Amino acid sequence: MNNDQFVIGVDYGTDSVRSVIVDAANGREIASSVFYYPRWREGLYCKPSENQFRQHPLDYIEGLEATIKDCIKKAGGQQAASAVKGISVDTTGSTPIAIDATGTPLALLPDFETNPNAMFVLWKDHTGIKEAEQINDHALKFDTNYLQYVGGIYSSEWFWAKLLHVLRVDADVRQAMQSWVEHCDWIPFLLTGGSNAAQIKRGRCSAGHKALWAEEFGGLPPDDFFTSLDPLLTGIKDKLFTETYTADQPAGTLSREWAARLGLSTDVVVGTGAFDAHMGAVGGQIEPYYLSKVMGTSTCDILVAPMNDMNGKLVNGICGQVNGSVIPGMAGLEAGQSAFGDTYAWFKNLLSWPINNLLSGSKVIDAVTAEALKEELAEQLIPELSRQAALLPVDQESELAIDWFNGRRTPDANQALKGAIGGLNLGSDAPRVFRALAEATCFGAKSIVERFVSEGIPVKGIIGIGGVAKKSPFIMQMMADVLGMPIRIHQFTHTCALGAAMFAAVVAGIYPNVEAAMQAMGGGFDVSYEPDEQMSVVYQMRYRMYQSLGGYIDRQTASATKTKLQSV
């Protein structure tokens, strides 16, 4: 008889979905699989110049099935499948979508299958900048501060700004939509065979950090808050939710359809969903007052604190503080940077433009060789830039950058801000500019730490997880030097998926709570970066320059925005 108890963690990232099968007894990875979204890779339904980033639900569905089936095959087939007891899912966020009364995303219906407004509005989509500004101005009209638990500033990356924008620009979607749901809430609903949008279990994590849900308000803000913002929102609150569920609560069990598709039992318990960074913090064995940084295309920074310690504290300018959004019974505080790995990817794409656009027409080499050369150079570019940049001296005259290439998430959300590179001269080559960009992302991280500390929330150390944390010693050492504190890198490759697996072990009844699952399934840390005191002194000076340049950009952007509004 098979006495193993396996759990599956599914982690939806920006570019791909990854699933892992984990032994619940010790956290050992049994199998893993990654699926890159095919429509997303082709750039479909996106307009980067307009800040539009949409993903088709078929990318998510196909990836869910492909990765879990591949994991089961790698783990040994039917014997492994019979040992699976639970599945939990994390996703990017806020990444919501319009659904009909059955809970079906509109993009899965024939009339909407190629309509970007009927698709998931990815976290990095900033088409709702105007709507976010209006929400912030509107909130000042009420005696109750409905933004108090989201840092006092509402972002275009979040639930309501995206909903209002879609309703305004697309009458067809507006007429067909019956509700609006986060990606992390929809996948469990899909797996459990849900057929009624009103019965979707909404996660505490997504609701509290992005949708203005709060225990103090008895749920969402009152209907008048939304209807007086825009009549298009009249009655929308009744189509959404009041109750929320922490991720240690089950959403249901696997439906017959999905059990058959995956080769699993209908007894498999499916957990309530949450955002990737929140489950990733659990996978990375977060401790109170240690900042867990999930470093990928963006960063999402998570800190947990005992509820008694908060004692009415409200941290301004972050992405929210929610009871139970990470570990039930503790306050989960979220911050982050809108572009981290995306900053390096932008520079890589900039440098690669001639290779990608001219090499295929070369008269010197054939097409097959050209394609192979493209792939080789693309793989080597960032590692080589990192090696060369690490050799450069840093002083007051070195190039200086601002990391707001996709706006600023925290502190003080403002997605209208732009990145910048200063101090350029004829000697500014690719390694020097790359170093400035890396330095800027580390300075952005420092500004977040400083905000927590200034608001009375100590930061004892940093836990690094995600692709950049695992792959770039150059950037991690620089960050330790900039922050002046050690950074521990978690040993698990797919840490967010491991966190989801830990929650799956709890909802399946294998462990009584998240803390017990973390203790049993966490594998510890394999690398630690200690700050170099001499470099820390240099970076303190550079950080003041970063603040000065960033402040100038912030003021100029505010002035331009004010002028634009006055001319309308």
Are 331 and 321 in contact by the 8 Å Cβ rule? The answer is yes
CA dist 535 and 76 (Å) reads 50
Please give the mean pLDDT across all residues of the chain: 95
Count of domains for the chain: 2
Task: Give the confidence band of 1 by pLDDT, cuts at 50, 70, 90.
Answer: very low
pLDDT at 567: 63
Q: What is the mean pLDDT of residues 456-475?
A: 94
Per the rule left: phi > 0, alpha: psi between -120 and 50, beta: everything else, 232 is alpha
Residue 320 resides in a domain: no
Q: Residues 151, 192: one domain?
A: yes
Are 204 and 245 in contact by the 8 Å Cβ rule? The answer is yes
Tokens standing for residue 205: 């994590």
Residue 55 resides in a domain: yes
Task: Give the confidence band of 396 by pLDDT, cuts at 50, 70, 90.
Answer: confident
Q: What is the mean pLDDT of residues 146-155?
A: 96
Q: Residues 263, 363: one domain?
A: no
HEC string of 418-432 equals CCEEECCCCCCCHHH
Residue 312 resides in a domain: no
Residue 317 resides in a domain: no
Q: Residues 76, 212: one domain?
A: yes
pLDDT at 362: 87
Q: Residues 49, 132: one domain?
A: yes
Q: Residues 485, 501: one domain?
A: no
Edge-to-edge strands, sheet with 330-337: 321-323, 330-337, 299-306, 290-295, 461-465, 487-490, 525-529
Residue 155 resides in a domain: yes
Q: Residues 130, 51: one domain?
A: yes
Q: What is the mean pLDDT of residues 501-528?
A: 97
Domain CATH for 442: 3.30.420.40
Task: Give the confidence band of 303 by pLDDT, cuts at 50, 70, 90.
Answer: very high
Q: Residues 407, 546: one domain?
A: yes
Q: Distances in Å between the alpha carbon of 450 and those of 275, 317, 320, 407, 456? A: 24, 12, 16, 19, 10
pLDDT at 71: 98
Are 303 and 460 in contact by the 8 Å Cβ rule? The answer is no
The single-letter code of the amino acid at 220 is L
Residue 111 resides in a domain: yes
Q: Residues 118, 174: one domain?
A: yes
Q: What is the mean pLDDT of residues 108-135?
A: 97
Q: Which domain holds residue 382?
A: 341-491+532-567
Q: What is the mean pLDDT of residues 180-190?
A: 98
Q: Residues 486, 504: one domain?
A: no
Q: What is the pLDDT of residues 54-80, one digit of tens each?
A: 999 999 999 999 999 999 999 999 999
Q: What is the mean pLDDT of residues 226-243?
A: 96
Q: Residues 266, 372: one domain?
A: no
Q: Among 145-149, 330-334, 367-371, where is mean pLDDT lowest?
A: 367-371
Task: Give the confidence band of 560 by pLDDT, cuts at 50, 70, 90.
Answer: confident
Q: Residues 512, 404: one domain?
A: no
Residue 113 resides in a domain: yes
Q: Residues 99, 169: one domain?
A: yes
Residue 314 resides in a domain: no
Are 500 and 517 in contact by the 8 Å Cβ rule? The answer is no
